[in-house]
Chains A and B, each alone.
Chain A
């Protein structure tokens, strides 16, 4: 179901990971992603697994929530696995018509899947332990230098934050409109591609109208609460690094060094 999407869903518990500065977590996720991409040895994957497991344990978020995030990428995973399995040249295991499964393919597919699963779990962990507001705050601060070249960093991060707030609402609304149209005999599931695309009109038009109405309402509510852009705004939760953040950066350094070392082993 649409409601199972966990990306962007904060899991409210108090843990070391929750208390870290969002910039620390953003940077950590970045480091982690880089190490996944430079990994070419089983040891590097083990290191990444240890790093991820440690982070998950520290976060006190049930593993189930992370696994749920994976559902969203199952399709992607299947495609990339099948491509790798059958399209990698090398020693064949068996052949069906023009498709040939190879040992090399199996290896690449296995590592690709691990990489993708780790990647999704890592970034899901970031969103589970960081409120969207902290996340956008972190981005706003980390990318603050872009303001100098005219990028509206505050506005963009405000937009992201609002988008995150309204995604679950619009998902629920989609579900409702879909059901309402199905009650009028609409069929979203059968027919060819063109028929299906046409069947989406009764869903998309009301959804857009509702989104516009919400946007107007929200703009009015924000204005009524004295919002006038980023100028002169203070923060309820200003960002500042603590000792634990500095320690975490040290852990990143060690982990990164290890991964680089494995790479050149």
Chain B
């Protein structure tokens, strides 16, 4: 069993009217099962309202499932006594960089989690040093978070989670409010943490370019998991992705259209070089053949 295991998760948002009667029920998740291997980099894709953010919030007990169970390292999030261990194990980074930084100085914010966990002072400092180093923000440790760019703020937020020594980080659309520079910065940081520290990463996003390097891509729509596989597998279904209102990288789209016209390109092309190499093989190769 993986580090995260969701079994038939159902989550309903219930709105009450003035007389405390159930007014409106919104089924955000309608039976989601997932098993995520420790150390993997998993991307969850879906348009707004697909249920992906709800899933993220269930991962560390911010929301509790209406039905079904979610286990973080074999601990059920619904189990009151495990709640704090669950939160220590699965750290969470949110969308809005401003609304998750508590400290008025970068290093103090990074120390906030360990302080709450009752870590001894000396160790807090070690953890803060390591975490800031890991996200490349050591040079800014004495700055006010307000002076940082969006991407830097998100890196501080990631460091704040890292200082809790989690085994898994759940990032809920961490790049939605950033510019392209900031987006790249955050994704690079997350990827490094995954590769170098072996942290399991669950990245929730709707930007396609961010999921190309993931080990696994899970696509959600209408509260269900509708696609699940490696990026290559998922991106070979261009039409299906579009149907779920998702973008496809231009390279993949071009390759798909060319294949439809009969060019012998491999399925699920994701990078510029892949496409250019395959096309060069076809176009130059045939030219060479023709000249014979």
Contact = CB atoms under 8 A, between A and B. Distances in A.
Given A234-B121, A236-B115, A238-B121, A226 B88 contact: yes
B142 A236 contact: no
B37 interface: no
Interface stretch (A45-53, A99-107, A157-165, A197-205): A157-165
Contacts of A221: 92, 94, 99-100, 102
A256 B107 CA distance: 36
Given A213-B99, A214-B98, A226-B88, 13 more contacts: A10-B104, A133-B108, A165-B104, A217-B99, A221-B102, A223-B62, A225-B87, A225-B112, A225-B160, A226-B87, A236-B115, A237-B108, A237-B121
Most buried by B among A10, A133, A214, A228: A133
A161 B104 CA distance: 8
A246 B116 CA distance: 31
Contact of B94 (A131, A164, A217): A217
Interface in A111-168: 131-133, 161-162, 164-165, 168
Contacts of B105: 10, 12, 131, 133
23 contacts: A133-B103, A133-B104, A133-B105, A133-B108, A164-B104, A165-B104, A165-B146, A213-B99, A214-B99, A220-B94, A222-B102, A223-B62, A223-B87, A224-B92, A225-B102, A226-B117, A228-B84, A228-B116, A233-B116, A234-B114, A235-B124, A236-B108, A237-B121
B161 interface: yes
Contact of B161 (A132, A220, A225): A225
A224 B102 contact: no
A238 B101 CA distance: 21
Contacts of A10: 104-105, 144
A222 to B, nearest CB: 6
Contacts of A83: none
Interface in B126-144: 128, 142-144
B118 A224 contact: no
Nearest to A169: B98
Contacts of B124: 234-236
Contacts of B112: 222, 225, 227
A228 B160 CA distance: 16
B120 interface: yes
B60 A224 contact: yes
Interface in B76-126: 84, 87-88, 91-92, 94, 96, 98-105, 107-108, 111-121, 124-125
A232 interface: yes
A169 B146 contact: yes
B64 interface: no
Contact of B115 (A131, A213, A233): A233
Interface in A1-44: 9-10, 12
A182 interface: no
Interface in B36-92: 57, 60, 62, 84, 87-88, 91-92
Contacts of B87: 223-226
Contacts of B117: 226
A250 interface: no
Contacts of A228: 84, 116
Contacts, number: 105
Contacts of B96: 214, 217
B156 interface: no
Nearest to B116: A226
Given A10-B144, A236-B108, A218 B99 contact: yes
A218 B62 contact: no
A213 B116 CA distance: 24
Contacts of A133: 103-105, 108
Given A224-B91, A236-B111, A236-B121, A165 B101 contact: yes
Contacts of A236: 107-108, 111, 114-115, 121, 124-125, 128
Contacts of A232: 118
Closest 8 CB pairs of A and B: A236-B111, A217-B99, A221-B100, A226-B116, A225-B113, A224-B92, A132-B104, A236-B124
Nearest to A162: B102
A123 to B, nearest CB: 17
A54 B62 CA distance: 51
Interface string B152-170: 0000000011001000000
Interface in A168-215: 168-169, 213-214
B164 A225 contact: yes
